Chain A
Amino acid sequence: MEDGSGAPADPRVPLAAWYLQPGLRRMMMIPLMEAVALTVLLLLLRQSGGDPRANLAESTAAFIAAAPPPVAKSENAAELYAAATLLVRPVSGFLITAHQSSEEMQSPAWLENSEARAYYSANLPAINALLLATQTEKCNFGVNYPLGNSAPLPQLKKLREAGRLLALDARMKAHAGDHAGAASTLAAMYALARHIGSDRFLISQLVQIAIESQADSTLENIVCCDPPTKTAELEAYRKQLRTNREGTQRSIEALQTEKKMCLMGIDTFATSGLTMPMGKSSAVVNNDFYAALLYPSDRACCQEVMDEFMARAARGETMDDTEVDDFLSARQIGPMVMTRMMLPAMGRIVYRFQRNDESAQLADTALAFLLYRAKYGRDVARIDDLVPEFLPKVPTDFFHHLPLKLASSPISETQHGWQKEFFGDQNIIRIYSFGKNGIDENGLGNEGMDPDDQAFILPPLGFKPAPPVKAPAGSNTGADF
């Protein structure tokens, strides 16, 4: 065959024309290009994390097993708490701020505030109901464990509020001179904390710690503002103080539960359409990609990191955020999206538990110091002098096992606002530990900051606070408890 010019046609003409006229072939390149990119990514992440559905069944069963044992309704403190929290009268206006601000609430002036006292009087029925509930031994809040980290925990906010009410009750009783009653209320706060901690959710454990710390802080405020002077009163406080808080054991248990919950969360995300902040994801597409590309390494990393956290908690080792970052990076075997989102805070957990243990130890040492003062009419110069009559041995801190220290100096300008006003330039007594940094910073500092000494403040010898006022009618006494 010949072309128009009579020359023999090149058999490659159609091919050349086809090559030069890509047309729709360009369009085909788009999905081909995406498929090549996805396939290369799959080849880079050749991994297997087992069957997410089988893993989910296993992790859900493990998490449900962490639920507290069932309790009969008649023996369940949770029922009484539910009834008691219904009696709580909401605060309004000025009192909301004052009530929620721990700084203001700690101030002795707050106890004299008419609105504060009205609030206290209005909430006495709730306080009485709460005190009754704390006397019950068993507690099960009936949390829906199969929901994992989506399980609602409405009781925590209400019981945190209840803890504040009990702290107010203890302060009011001590202010009225009823130290035995105040000690009993503090004991009720520790019982409330224990009940909250019956659920092994990490958030429950943290609320437990918060209420225990609040009880310790309330004791410190009582000792400063309305100091008990009689040996019997001090003994009552010391008896109620919960010193053996088993922070290490509790932190390990909390981490165990958190590990189960994290694994369950990862398995759930890999197997179902979990509602995410960007909108409801499609179970057909997006979670499949998570399951294929990210899930195996994410789950493996989560398991390994949580196991290491627990091992470190058992050794009493803590980690700050930077250390946690390095720690996670060192164990990263691939993408770990969920692990990175869920676990960084875990490094601080052990620290928080140890700090809580130390708070109890400082409170106990401070009460021993006051007992010495009550008995001999003078202060000891060193904590060693309290051994063996008031303390079996010199207590040491949890971070570096260094002995607690005693110091006498004025309140610092930057810390303890109301105490600065209350004590003026007088030297106050600080019983303190050196914190995580292990440096003696004269008892100054805050948790997680530098300086980070943890101190229990005591009034100077012979300090005379304002005379107590009469407690409002209907207030509990020690005898009621």
Chain B
Amino acid sequence: MDAPVPNPSASIAPRGGIVARWLQRRRARREASRDFDSRWVGRALLLPVIASQFVWFPVANAVSAALLLATALCGALICAYYAHLLLARLQCSLLEFLVLIAGLGSWLGMLLASPALYALGTHWVVILTLFGAGWVLHGAVLGVAQARLLGVESPAARACHILLGWITSGSRGVLLLGLSLSLIRLADRRSFAEMLGQRLATWGTALFIAGIAGALLSFVVNFKTRRAAQKILGETVPQSRAISAAQPAHNATFPA
């Protein structure tokens, strides 16, 4: 990351209609991130990710076992992808590494200390551990990337960004759980409260609110980071699109 990298998109002056411009920009971004991203992981993930979505359905045991294996592979690939980005590409600092270790230890510690996990069986212990580690690494990569793109220098602020990365990336899962619990509750309040218990029903609302708050936070941080990234790439930000259209030469330059 320390060596300056040429910006392929800088030499491309967008021409044509909206679609053509979008395609050009996309191509330029891919070109620019070629040495940063590990595309092969993405491609290798395609099948396991799809397979992991069928693991919830009741199927024959042999098929189910194969799906579980694919899901575990998916978790391992996600871990490898984000660990590679964090340690090799982003080359995180010692502080960021310590925050990562603390987050990983806390999350997996909580997970592995839950008696219910072991009742799920070894296959689910492995899957949830891998995906738990994957989520922690993903949140850390997101936080470090956002901090760097936003130009955050203070160590405390960078650590906070990692925390923010976990919150924003975890908010979708929390929202999913909260929404599921709340929807069941709204659809069949009596049976839900009776079967799952009032405590879980209350948690459904709390998780839904927390998920919404996390999603809003994620939107705000992501919006700011995207604008910063676009500035770095010298792309036109949406607000100045009209101005930039009148000054096409501006797109082709990097900020000083």
Contacts and interface: CB of A to CB of B under 8 A. Distances in A.
Do A and B come together as binding partners?
yes
B233 interface: yes
Contact of A52 (B6, B68, B119, B199): B119
A3 B232 contact: no
B128 A38 contact: yes
Nearest to A283: B61
Contacts of A381: none
Contact of B111 (A4, A24, A39, A47): A39
A292 B226 CA distance: 41
Interface in A17-74: 17-21, 23-25, 27-49, 52
Interface residues of B, number: 99
B120 A292 contact: yes
Contact of B197 (A278, A289, A336): A336
A135 interface: no
A296 B65 CA distance: 25
Contacts of B58: 278-282, 285-286
Given A18-B37, A35-B131, A340-B195, A284 B176 contact: no
Contacts of A32: 78, 131, 134-135, 138, 169, 173
Contacts of B254: 3, 5, 7, 9-10
Given A24-B42, A24-B46, A291 B120 contact: yes
B29 A17 contact: yes
Given A20-B29, A36-B173, A337 B1 contact: no
A13 to B, nearest CB: 5
Nearest to B82: A28
B116 A39 contact: no
A40 B6 contact: no
Interface of B: 1-7, 9-11, 26, 28-37, 42-43, 45-46, 49, 52-53, 55-56, 58-61, 64-65, 68, 71, 74-75, 78, 81, 90, 107, 110-111, 113-121, 123-124, 127-128, 131-132, 134-135, 138, 145-146, 148-149, 169-170, 172-174, 176-177, 180, 193-200, 203, 207, 225-226, 228-230, 232-233, 235, 252-256
17 contacts: A9-B7, A11-B1, A11-B4, A16-B32, A18-B36, A21-B33, A24-B42, A27-B42, A28-B78, A28-B134, A34-B52, A36-B131, A285-B68, A291-B119, A291-B120, A332-B197, A335-B197
Given A20-B29, A31-B74, A47-B115, 18 more contacts: A14-B33, A16-B233, A19-B225, A31-B131, A36-B177, A38-B128, A39-B128, A39-B132, A42-B117, A42-B128, A43-B114, A48-B116, A49-B119, A279-B58, A281-B58, A283-B61, A284-B123, A285-B56
Interface of A: 1-5, 7-21, 23-25, 27-49, 52, 273, 278-286, 288-289, 291-293, 295-297, 325, 328-329, 332-337, 340
